[in-house]
Amino acid sequence: MKRILCPLLLAGLLAVACTKTECPQEKLTANDARIDEIIAQMTLEEKVEMLHSKTNMSSAGVERLGIADIRYADGPFGIREEGVPNGFQSAGWTLDSATYFPTGSALAATWSEDLAYKYGTGMGKEARLRGKDVILGPAVNIQRLPVGGRTYEYLSEDPILSAALALYYTKGVQDQGTAVCIKHFAVNNQETSRGSVDVQIDERTLREIYLKPFERAIKEGGAMSVMPAYNKVNGDYCSENEHLLNEILRGEWGFKGMTVSDWGGTHSTMGAMLHGLNVQMTGSNYLGQPVIDSIAAGKLTEEMVDEKVRQILRVRLAVEAVPDDVANTQMTSQPESQRIAREVAEKSIVLLKNEGILPIKADVKKIAVIGQNAVLKTQSGGMGAGVKALYEITPLQGIRARAGKDIEVSYAPGYKNFPGRRWGPAPAEPDPLEATAIDEPADPALLAEAVALAKEADLVIFFGGTNKSIETEGSDRKDIKLPCGQEEIVQALYAANPNLATVLISGGPTDLQVLEPVSPAIVQGWWNGTEGGTALAKVLFGDIAPSGKLPFTFPAKLEDSPAYALGNFPGNSAGGDLFTLMFRPDVLKMTPAERQALIDALPKPVSEYTERFYVGYRWFDTKGVKPKYAFGHGLSYVTFAYGQPKAKVAGDKVKVTFLLANEGTMDADEVVQLYVRRIGSAVEWPDKELKAFRRVSLKAGEHRKVTLEIPLDELRYWNGTKNTWELEHGKLQLLLGAASDDIRRTAEITI
């Protein structure tokens, strides 16, 4: 078979020889000859039609030539409800209820490549049922800020974990014949001024931390499309960023597919045309008529348009269009996907603390469930990334169903729900269970009702956390405090009945300084999808052992986290929110010149990443700052014993083998984690870095040999002076454990 070289050779990258069928991006070129024939038959106008949106969720094909439109669907944790052609408002369909999968941070808490793959297959299949070609996901940006509005959509603060899950999610989706549009490329780590903020970042940090998840999904997973982010990186908008799109994505990683701007994230005709964008979403003011005019003026050529169309057609031909009479003939949500959603939820739940309260004991006959988060549905809200779920089992429903007739489960709301910014008109009558401010103190009547129930119960389960108005696309949280007097409530509940477990329902971390001392057990329950309540009840009642591990650090206090400690956030990044401006009705009516004048007058927000690669636990460990709960932390109902690891370099990998034993009396999963510390290195490194992990299922009392592998490539660093990846030879300490702060065994190796 003819062997070709993937274009990973640039910039000193390792040469990877692979065949056309092995090299995932090369597969996209399989139809290039046919594509050239198609392009030869197209008019310039038809070609340019493909470079921008046709409707809010589609871009044009060429009907005359039998080329179907490309249909997109949000992503990332369920196929979004069908919207009207020119907006996000509901189209009022009845068969478009989809499976609500656990959100990104919950998926990441499983630390499971297998589950990420299954999740992808579920998403991919449901997309096909809806006639969609491209899923706008996975969303894989690194969680840099605990307050980040999209933390719940994103995966982890760690690039190795994020990259592995991004890769398997991508494979799962694309194996079903649907394309991913991996987003948001790149360094989209804050919602504050997201439409205009200029991220100032050094090349090593960019490569080692922020690009990793994209790199694996593209190079190994063959991700077919990429969504450039709203923000700028080092001076240029991501949708016209030569370095990101042309040099790295296409040049170094060999990307052959198409880039699709985030909605409203295209900024100029020449920038987009010259620096790597294929499709403007949405609108045609840059990649529509102005492209034709620029060709006429001799500023652009038709060949440039041909190349963009070629890249789009590669995706179009790789994904079979679902015929209109086949699409939307059955309900989007399918039992198989619902089972996957449940399995992910079961394995995502993190037991943060347990002083013998959980699992719920056999003599518990009266449970008081307190807190509105036990009954609030989490499928929608959070702005774009929501799902119209076919059904959603809330925590209270899950607990009641599992408790059966013998256990009495009472409920009180405990605190008011903060509904956030209201999009529609205010209701005629204010809802007595809604707060008007996020920091509104506890309501005395609700508090008294909750305390009375707690006093009578054998066990109190307090449901705290945030909601999808507090953690949402479009804005970051001001802080990570528990809202609406929750701290006061849990203190009062504990005083009334110390047999208390807290379940946190949130996508990101919260400040637990007050809550932790008055919660003998704490569970991180996430926004856990359609079967979230069922999964939670199984863990609480001990039908299964908890096995999720934190994909990000819970700082003791917000100020401890790196971007805050260095004053980088909000820093100079607030103000100048171009994004909200662009959708203002008066601005939409302006001429391009007027709009430009308005934009020019805005402050120019900048986000400095001077913490460099000390993101998340890399910072906490290196600086010796103790977090409340560390990256990778998560308890079980059993204990696991780790045998002494044997480590060796075998070929291009470090191999670590050890015995893992489940010492408990129930079946359980452990997520084993392997970190690397450099010894006597001349290069600057964080104290330690995750390099491999595996979820291992062991029966009660079972032990098994486990092997972890670290490709030597993953031990390289980006040498900014030479502009290349480099492997530093020398000694490494391998740290094997159950969490970043729970290292059980170590070994040394020389590479």
Q: Token pair of 537, please? A: 């009840």
Counted residue by residue, the chain has a size of: 751
Q: How far is the CB of 165 from ligand BGC (least distance, A)?
A: 17
Is 15 in a helix, a strand, or coil? coil
Q: Name beta bridge partners: 677.
A: 733
Distances, alpha carbon 730 to alpha carbons 116, 614, 685, 748, in Å: 34, 22, 13, 10
DSSP string covering 220-258: TT---EEEE-SSEETTEEGGG-IIIIIIIIIIIT---SE
Task: Tell me which residue of 14, 33, 28 sits closest to 218, measured CA to CA.
Answer: 28
Q: Toward ligand BGC, which CB reaches closer, 514 or 581?
A: 581
Q: Toward ligand BGC, which CB reaches closer, 157 or 262?
A: 262
Q: Toward ligand BGC, which CB reaches closer, 96 or 262?
A: 262
Map tokens 């760690």 to a residue: 158
Element (H, E) at 653: strand 653-662
Q: Toward ligand BGC, which CB reaches closer, 74 or 96?
A: 74
DSSP string covering 394-435: -HHHHHHHHHTTTSEEEEE--S-B---S--SPPPSS--TTB-
Q: Where are the beta strands (DSSP E) in 20-140?
A: 53-55, 58-59, 70-74, 134-136
Q: How far is the CB of 737 from ligand BGC (least distance, A)?
A: 35
Report yes or no: 482 and 510 within 8 Å, Cβ to Cβ.
yes
Q: Toward ligand BGC, which CB reaches closer, 35 or 73?
A: 73
Q: How far is the CB of 699 from ligand BGC (least distance, A)?
A: 41
476 touches ligand BGC (CB under 6 A): no
Residue of closest CB approach to ligand BGC: 136
Strand 225-228 relative to strand 731-739: parallel, antiparallel, unpaired?
Answer: unpaired
Strand 703-711 relative to strand 717-719: parallel, antiparallel, unpaired?
Answer: unpaired
Q: Toward ligand BGC, which CB reaches closer, 249 or 357?
A: 249
Q: Where are the beta strands (DSSP E) in 216-363?
A: 225-228, 232-233, 236-237, 258-259, 350-354
Q: Per-residue string for binding with ligand BGC, 45-84, x by CB under 6 A?
A: -----------------------------xx---------
Q: How far is the CB of 16 from ligand BGC (least distance, A)?
A: 31
Q: What residues are labeled active site?
A: 262
Distances, alpha carbon 168 to alpha carbons 76, 164, 338, 416, in Å: 14, 6, 19, 39
Residue type, 398: G
Q: How far is the CB of 57 from ligand BGC (least distance, A)?
A: 8
Report yes or no: 210 and 143 within 8 Å, Cβ to Cβ.
no
> Which residues, including other chains, have CB under 8 Å from residue 428's CB and lie 6 or more apart?
none
Q: How far is the CB of 519 from ligand BGC (least distance, A)?
A: 34
Q: Toward ligand BGC, which CB reaches closer, 195 or 222?
A: 195
Q: Toward ligand BGC, which CB reaches closer, 136 or 470?
A: 136
Give 671-698 as a 3 state SS string: EEEEEEEEECCCCCCCCCEEEEEEEEEE
Q: How far is the CB of 171 from ligand BGC (least distance, A)?
A: 20
> Which residues, including other chains, have CB under 8 Å from residue 384's CB and lie 6 or more apart?
74, 80, 88, 473
Q: Token pair of 751, please? A: 């590479």
Q: Name beta bridge partners: 605.
A: none
Half-sphere exposure of 234 (CA within 13 A, CB side): 10
Kindly tell me which residue out of 117, 119, 152, 263 binds ligand BGC, with binding defined by CB under 6 A: 263
Q: How far is the CB of 407 from ligand BGC (least distance, A)?
A: 42
Q: Name beta bridge partners: 199.
A: 233, 607
Q: Token pair of 589, please? A: 């009516």
Window 345 to 404, contacts with ligand BGC (CB under 6 A): 384
Q: How far apart are CA 301 and CA 49, in angstroms?
A: 16
Q: How far is the CB of 308 from ligand BGC (least distance, A)?
A: 21
Is 110 in a helix, a strand, or coil? coil
Q: Toward ligand BGC, which CB reaches closer, 265 or 632?
A: 265
Kindly tell me which residue out of 69, 126, 262, 487 binds ligand BGC, with binding defined by CB under 6 A: 262
Window 132 to 161, contacts with ligand BGC (CB under 6 A): 136
Report yes or no: 354 and 635 within 8 Å, Cβ to Cβ.
yes
Sign of the Cα pseudo-torsion (86, 91, 95, 101, in order): positive
Q: Toward ligand BGC, which CB reaches closer, 19 or 86?
A: 86
Kindly tell me which residue out of 52, 71, 118, 183 binds ligand BGC, with binding defined by CB under 6 A: 183
Q: How far is the CB of 56 from ligand BGC (least distance, A)?
A: 8
Q: How far is the CB of 75 from ligand BGC (least distance, A)?
A: 6
Count residues near ligand BGC (CB under 6 A).
7
Is 500 in a helix, a strand, or coil? strand
Q: Toward ligand BGC, which CB reaches closer, 104 or 483?
A: 104
Q: What is the CA radius of gyration of the chain?
A: 26
- Cα–chain center distance at 50: 29
Provide the binding-site residues for ligand BGC, judged by CB under 6 A. 74-75, 136, 183, 262-263, 384
